[in-house]
Structure formats: C-alpha cells, structure tokens
Amino acid sequence: GVTPANNLTLTYTAWSDIAHDCGQSRLYGGMHFEAAVTASHELCSGFINPVVEKAELLRQGNADGALATFGDDSILVTPLERPAAPADDVPVDAVEPRAFYPNWGGLEEKCLDNSVETENMPGYMRTNYNDFVSDDLETCCAKHYDWAKADCIVNSGGTYAGSSEWYVNWVSLKCVKDCNDSSDVSCGGFAKNWDELFGDSAADCCGNISPDLTISECIET
C-alpha cells in the first residue's frame, strides 16, 4: 500500500466497525491470515463481553463492576474448540503422510518433515492444509522460501549442489559461484532468487561490476 501524504481521519458509528477494520489491518499488513482474523473476532468477543458488562455496572454505580479478583470465575474465557478442517481440503491420509511444511516459528529457513514433526505443525496449517503442506521438500522450499530455496533444502537435510554459475556478491564486490563447497574458494554460497547468474563466464560477471576489472581482481583465488 501507499502511506497517506496527510493525516487520515476515520469515523465510525459502531464498535463492530472498528473491530472489523482492526482485524483487516492485520491482514493487510501481512501479520495474519484471513482464518486467523476471523477466529480472533470470535475469541475477542468472548473476552470483551464480560468486561463491557462490568463497565456497565460501574456506570450504574454498582460496586459489582469493580475490578475482579483472581477468584472471580465470571471473567474466565472458555477456550474455543479448534475448527475441523474442511473435508475437501484435508486428504484422508493427512495424519501421517510424508509431507513438508515451513518452519515459520524457527530461525532457520527450512521445511519440517510432517512424518517426524507431526505434533509440531501449527493448527492453522492443518486447517489450511493445501496452502501450507507440500508433498516434497523441494516444492515446500520453492513455495515458502523462494528467495533462498537452496539454503532451505540444505537446512532441511536435503542435498543441493548449486548451479556453479557465476554471480556478483555485492558485499565483497567479487564474482563468486553458485555453490557451497568449502574446498572451492570461488564458491560464494547459494545464489538468492534476486541474484543474476552469468553462466560459466566469470568475465561476463566481472564486467557487470566494472568493465575495468580484470579476472584476477574480480574473483577469489
């Protein structure tokens, strides 16, 4: 989206409209998925209703609206039951398949094997199975970590040799190869999806940095 050039005033006539826009802002900002926004409306309504009731008692001068103690069961929120996944969205054998899902809760760019990490798959991924779960590792990495597909495959325990094509490392201003072989000094790690590959021509890669660079100046030796 585009940040407004001037302050924008929004006017509401109902709290429900405010709640709706707050939820949608999380979706538009990329923090939540549609299913999470919908579920949050139901969850928060269960939380706020007793709060509103307490506030109304206070407005009427009733001391029963005072802040609750830990022993006040009237404000306890009953956990929502996780909705069952639609029958046409989850395969019959979705409980124990060899399938892969993104490790969005971890630090590494990798996909987890559902047959090993069965208990750790988040509920929203189970509910939206076809959106998050892939039949093979390469597809999972390409779908959820497209900017670092090769790193994802290797981090997930798979094998990936790289293309060995030349690309520019703009941090070191050197041309390096798309590979991760520690015995080859010209390997610069796996190229990201934004890196331009120059095939097996180091000269073409170096020319992209500066036409005045020699090969010996441009590559690691």
User: What is the token pair recorded at 90?
Assistant: 């989850």
Q: Return the exposure string of 192-212: e unless at least 16 CB atoms fall within 10 Å of the residue's CB, then b.
A: eeebebbeeebeebbebbeee
The residue ranking higher by pLDDT, 14 or 209, is 209
pLDDT at 210 over 80: yes
Contacts of 41 (CB under 8 A, 6+ apart): 19, 20, 23
CA distances 55 to 12, 58, 149, Å, are 21, 5, 53
What does pLDDT average to over the chain? 78
Distance CA(194)–CA(199), nearest Å, equals: 15
Q: In DSSP terms, which residues pair with 172 in a beta bridge?
A: none
Residue of higher predicted confidence among 16 and 145: 145
Which of 88-120 are b and which e, b meaning 16 or more Cβ less than 10 Å from the residue's Cβ? Answer: eebeeeeeeeebbbbbeeeeebbbbebeeeeee
**Contact 101/131 with Cβ under 8 angstroms?**
no
Q: Stretch 177-181: mean pLDDT, rounded?
A: 89
Q: Is the pLDDT of residue 72 over 70?
A: no
> How sure is the predictor about 93, in pLDDT bands with cuts at 50, 70 and 90?
very low
pTM of the entire predicted model: 0.47
Which of 11-15, 35-39, 46-50 has the weakest average pLDDT? 46-50
State the pLDDT at residue 65.
67
Instruction: Find where tokens 């010996």 sit.
Output: 216
In three-state secondary structure terms, 76 is coil
Could you read off the pLDDT of 143-153 as tens digits, one per residue? 888 888 888 99
Q: Are 138 and 160 in contact (CB under 8 A)?
A: no
